[in-house]
Chains A and B, each alone.
Chain A
Amino acid sequence: MDINFAFLVVSILKIVGIIAWIYGVVRALGHPSRWVKLAGIVLGFGIVQIALSVPIGGSPALSDFDSGLLFQGCAIAMVVMGLNLIYGFNGQFSLGQWAFYGIGAYTAADITYRWTNGDAKGLVVVGLGVTLEALMIFGIQRFLRRYQGVPVLSAFTLYIVGSIAVGAFATVVGRWISPLLSPLLGTDTAPGVLAHGFPLQVVYMLAVLLAGALAAEVSFLFGLPVLTLGSDYFGIATLGFTIVVNTLMINSDTILPFPEMKGGRGMIGIPKLTTWFWAFSFLIAIVVVMRNIIHSSTGRAIMSVREDETASKVMGIEVANYKLLSFVIGSFFAGIGGGVYAHFIGFLSPGTFDFLVSFNPLIIVVFGGLGSMTGSLAASFGWIFFLEGLLRVLLGQLGTEAPTWRFVLYPIALLLLMLLRPKGLLGTVEWGFLKTPQVLLRKREPVPVKTDSRSAKSEEKIGADQPG
């Protein structure tokens, strides 16, 4: 029973390093100068890229195992950011984030898998379907705006009927269009011009974005009726959704018509297209989008829904719409995370998206601090590096029961954290770029009220008395 202490120290240094890296990137992004921002992003990307690819003394600084953890951390961070928007900022207790992660992973994997095997149908059908679905949703929204107080179930029925029509149409048209692309794609053994290199990268990007969009649209259809439930009921319904989606994944080759997903045996042969460039770009894009949403008027409306629904309604905030908006955006992030994950790991198994694992994003969000974007980022990477990296290897040296011991120690850590710091490690602390911008914190000049001159004068007097 000898523990490798060098490994322990190196692992802890890696965790500290990755947190410092996040801090650096976020601080650089928060700098007012555009050039510093750019330099920060390039430097943040470059350091890791060098550590991943340039061999120092025989092997790169980050081994395959470490890079695996890094990519997994990126994917989890996207999922967790989405959940933080839904639960941390909007207060909707969702256990369904993992299902949208799975939907994204399987969708993106299916598109590129088919593409590299000389079949454009995945891309065409999903692309057409997602676009038409979005148009359909906006169209029905426009239509429903003519009525006041439409029952949720009726709206839901309209959307569902529309979705079925769109899905059928996209499938039929896809079957008709996709053979036209087949000659350019070639076959598995003799790939055509579109099947590798730059076009493949474009298809990968489209696949990930479409996966996110599909997850967002599914979350719209699911969230529309279910978000009207109370918080605990919503949680149980989303947990049920995770189980339903997982069951469908297990039966994807028997109940659903996707033989290439191979049901419970797991989908193999997904092209490993996720490079550090893509993982980093998607992560930074999500961080920027999330930060800009949170610090806009939309974000303030989302947070007001968390604080008090009735008061928000009184202030003229459309509670149902903002709940749905944050749920859809959060699921979009989860779908993108899934796409990134699928193309990094190259193998998808329904066991990865089991509902037992679906508690993980929730636990990470609470670890990092509800309503703290920095906390979500740091906690995702820290959690992956600690639990999957350090504990797994360290316990692996102790005996064959390591995976079990890992899950014996981890709940104990969870209990201690909940007892000692129930608000998470970072609470609501934000770093650099993610802080509330100074513009929003500046004290506003009081808006002049049109009154007769005498009372205006007295108001000025009162204002002048106040310090600052």
Chain B
Amino acid sequence: MEVSPSARQGAPRARRSGKRLAWIGQGLLLLIAVAAVVLLAHDFMQNPSLFVQIIISGLQLGFVYALIALGYTMVYGIVKLINFAHGDVFMVGSFVSFYAVTRFQLHVWPAAVFPGLPQMWVVVVGSASVVLLSMVVCAIMAVVIERAAYKPLRDAPRIAALITAIGVSFFLEFFGALSFVFSPRFIPYQRPFDVVTWYFNRGFHLVRPGQTVPDNSVTFSNIFLLIIGASILVQILLQFLVRHTRMGKAMRAASFDKPTARLMGINVDQVISFTFAVGAAFAGLGGVLYAIAYSSIWTQLGILPGLKAFVAAVLGGIGSIPGAFVGALIMGQAEALTMGYISTPMRDAVAFAILILVLLVRPTGIFGEPEKEKA
């Protein structure tokens, strides 16, 4: 990590230590940090309720990213592959739920089977079954992709697997865009349940239809609560899975050293397939939640959220599950604040600028362990 002087220098001259110039770089970082804090504080003082509202929308986005980022970070941790197709699995998840709801009315099956069931139970059980269906379909699809496309290339150069991943991603996007599959249009998404909105202004109040929300109040909906709840639940589940089950132990062993894990009697192929399946299931869940929250889907829906989720995983330190979570929240906030205070199209630019900045200061991400020196 040093700019080395040219080798062509003639007579050896006593050179001063470059450490003396370290203050310049630190000054730049300090300047950026101070500028960010001042700007945020200024925005907060201007209109606190707007600021909190933006933070809430950022949280909503960030928790969806967290769901996708888990799959990236787990897969990268084990096979060291940037699985570009993961974002498209996320897209497939939202489409599966769309067809389940719109065409097959899966979200009201409890009412059809048990006519006397209360409305609330119908909604909860129906929506949960839609989500479960998406998760299962995504998991199966990821395992098929892994077995068909990635497994034969496990010993090939890494670029081959990466290009295969890009190919699978393109295939899913454009195959989905054919008219007899999903069609290339934007499709309005029908939610399996109604949106309920609350606002906070000296206490929580329910927004009734036709009612205007008073000024300086912060609104949030049941979708926001659902996304946060689901995302945190998934985090806890995954932590439990990785830390306290036999499969989790096998996953950790395989990510640490595959040949040795194989010698210890772990079926590494099975572990890798399982990892893909779990990651894809969570991406499917994220896809359903994303579609519910933003209520419009199309076949290239998964590209940018997928990429940003990957960036979130890198930001938090790839291979680390809490890192993916924290990185996703940072990405969500960065995006929401940029949309709120700078301009909507700049949100991707700012998100990636933050990535580059963080990687410069901590090359392996916030929670990442420093890489071992190559022997």
Contact = CB atoms under 8 A, between A and B. Distances in A.
B76 to A, nearest CB: 8
B171 A411 contact: yes
A363 B166 contact: yes
A148 B17 contact: yes
Contact of A144 (B5, B310, B359): B5
Nearest to A225: B360
A149 B9 contact: no
Q: What is the interface of chain B mostly: helix, strand, loop, or mixed?
A: helix
A230 interface: yes
Interface stretch (B38-46, B136-144, B157-165, B202-210): B157-165
A154 B156 contact: no
B346 interface: yes
Interface in A372-411: 401, 404-405, 407-408, 410-411
Interface string A298-314: 00000000000110000
A153 to B, nearest CB: 3
A414 interface: yes
Contacts, number: 200
Given A240-B355, A415-B167, 15 more contacts: A149-B4, A153-B26, A158-B24, A233-B359, A233-B364, A237-B355, A310-B374, A320-B2, A356-B303, A366-B160, A407-B170, A407-B174, A411-B166, A411-B169, A415-B164
B5 A148 contact: yes
B257 to A, nearest CB: 19
B153 A419 contact: yes
Interface stretch (A9-17, A174-182, A246-254, A284-292): A246-254
B352 A152 contact: no
A316 B25 contact: no
Contacts of A150: 2-3, 18, 21
Per CB-CB distance, the 5 closest pairs between chain A and chain B, nearest first, are: A153-B25, A240-B352, A150-B18, A407-B174, A411-B167
B213 to A, nearest CB: 31
Interface string A248-276: 10110011000000000000000000000
Given A148-B18, A151-B22, A321-B4, A244 B167 contact: no
A153 B2 CA distance: 9
Contacts of B169: 411
Given A152-B1, A247-B348, A147 B21 contact: yes
Contacts of A423: 157
Interface in B170-186: 170-171, 173-175, 177-179, 184
A155 B3 contact: yes
Contact residues on B (Cβ < 8 Å of other chain), bracket: 35 or more
B345 A247 contact: yes
A422 interface: yes
Contacts of B7: 316, 318
A234 to B, nearest CB: 9
A227 to B, nearest CB: 10
A152 B3 contact: yes
Contacts of B314: 233, 236
Interface of B: 1-7, 9, 13, 15-29, 80, 82, 149, 152-153, 156-157, 159-161, 163-164, 166-171, 173-175, 177-179, 184, 303, 307, 310-311, 314, 343, 345-346, 348-349, 351-353, 355-356, 359-361, 363-364, 371, 373-375
Contact of A93 (B2, B23, B159): B159
A370 interface: yes
B153 A418 contact: yes
Contacts of B28: 153, 156-157, 160
Of A157, A226, A310, A423, which is in contact with the most chain B CB atoms at under 10 Å from its CB?
A157
Nearest to B82: A232
A412 B356 CA distance: 33
Given A148-B5, A236-B311, A419 B152 contact: yes
12 contacts: A93-B159, A146-B16, A147-B20, A149-B17, A149-B19, A151-B2, A152-B2, A232-B80, A240-B351, A405-B174, A411-B174, A415-B171
Interface in A425-449: none
A23 interface: no
Contacts of A362: 163
